Amino acid sequence: MSTLPIREWASLDEDARDLLLSRPQPRDRAARRAEVVRLIDQVRIDGDHTLRLLTRRFDGVELQRLTVTDAEFDEAVAAIPDDLAAAIREAIGRVRQFHAETAPKPQVVQTAPGVRCERVYRGLDTVGLYVPAGSAPLPSTAIMLGVPAALAGVGRVVLCSPPNKAGRVDPTVLFVARELGIHLVCKLGGVQAIAAMAYGTESVPKCAKIFGPGNSYVTEAKMVVAADLEGAAIDMPAGPSEVLVVADRGANPAFVAADLLSQAEHGPDSQVMLLSPCPDLLKAVCVEVDKQVATLSRSDVATQALQNSRAVLVDSLAEAVALSNRYAPEHLILAVRDPQALMPLVRHAGSVFLGDYAPESVGDYCSGTNHVLPTAGMARAYSGVSVLSFQTAITVQQLTREGLAAIGPCAIRLAEAEGLQAHANAVRVRMEAL
């Protein structure tokens, strides 16, 4: 039996369809949340002392200093091979280009003669970037968060990443930080890193907003601090990585299998989905998945993720996209002959990859778009990280005497309808003075 089971959508009742499109459910959610709240409270009370204790407990390393020194930065930069440094700089360049050109621009609208309305953007004062390094360090995440933060005009950037057994942050993460002008990097991971950035400690400044993916505990911590008025805002709720592929008869089974496995190797709780109206294509992809998964260094992780995954036979490509919208994937790959024809049907997805030669991996690293994306169906309401994520939008209005004369009566009448006399008077006293 294939590691990727095939199901026929038309044969399922509604309950079975809901189950088919459901994500893996986390175990002991209540217990995990209670543990997260307890750890956060400890950090709030004891600051750096608790951070050191939790780093020893969870990362197995004793730290005297929680922040990266200039010497450590220098050593990390010197250790990066030239070809890797070039690849990082190349990726930064494309990510910077895309985010700069798609950043919001100030707008001015005259809504009536003498009434000028504007929308302007300001970078956040202090933001926290979380860069995971559990099973594998993710310097690409440092790129995806650091580039738009710089373009947004953020006042101060704090980057937290777990230390290795030597008490060091991964050198590639530090190389990216230096390339992007991020000077404050903390050797912190997990719940304690999120708590430190949300509430501040002796070594970690309090942040207005926290960005970045993480495991289930990190995600839970972000949601806890976001619900606290004294905590910090977050980029989005997030969960395990996922991809949904819509494929037609002409899709290359090896390509599709490789795309599915590229997400399955993230973690055992990741999920991959394949939708196609072509039964032969589904079978061919399943054969390729079994063949390729055996060659992966993380084959055990990918195999566990495949237990949460599905291949689904649908009636048409249009039905496949409709199911994708219902699922709202983090990544959507349209491995079809005319992907642009399907794009108008796509309503809910974090990021979309069109055709046979746009693997999801390029979005993770160097196409230019951002890989910090909504998961767990959150693409129905959330967008991926962008420059705007690191900014607030402020509206501005300026009225001349003529402008107030033109729209003042409207404001007075509406204020009176709401029974707010002082609102009406604030306009009326000015109009009487015209």
Q: Give the residue ranges of the annotated binding site for substrate.
A: 241, 263, 266, 331, 364, 418, 423
Which DSSP string corresponds to 26-74? Answer: PTTHHHHHHHHHHHHHHHHHHTHHHHHHHHHHHH----S--B--HHHHH
Which DSSP string corresponds to 213-262? Answer: ---HHHHHHHHHHHTSTTS-EES----S-EEEEEE-TTS-HHHHHHHHHH
Angle between helices 29-46 and 216-226 (to 10 degrees): 60
| Residue 378: DSSP 8-state | G
Cα–Cα distance, 331 to 328 (Å, whole number)? 9
Cα–Cα distance, 423 to 412 (Å, whole number)? 7
Which residue ranges make up the annotated binding site for Zn(2+)? 263, 266, 364, 423
| Catalytic annotation present for 331 | yes
* Host H or E run for residue 206: none
Instruction: Decide: 346 and 320 in contact? Cβ < 8 Å.
Output: no
| Catalytic annotation present for 348 | no
Phi and psi torsions of 214, nearest 5°: 180, -175
Active-site hit among 99, 331, 348, 371: 331
Active-site hit among 242, 288, 330, 360: 330
Instruction: Decide: 120 and 388 in contact? Cβ < 8 Å.
Output: no
Instruction: Decide: 110 and 116 in contact? Cβ < 8 Å.
Output: yes
Residue 318 structure tokens: 């249009």
Count of CB atoms within 10 A of residue 104's CB? 14
Count of CB atoms within 10 A of residue 216's CB? 17
Which residue ranges make up the annotated binding site for NAD(+)? 130, 192, 215
Which residue ranges make up the annotated binding site? 130, 192, 215, 241, 263, 266, 331, 364, 418, 423
Task: Give me the residues paired with residue 160 across strands.
Answer: 130, 186
Q: Which residue has the tokens 């990918």?
A: 302
CA 209-41-53 angle, 5° bins: 100
CA neighbor of 257 nearest in space, from 290, 280, 285: 285
Cα–Cα distance, 345 to 354 (Å, whole number)? 13
Phi and psi torsions of 244, nearest 5°: -125, 130
Instruction: Decide: 155 and 118 in contact? Cβ < 8 Å.
Output: no
Report the catalytic residues: 330-331
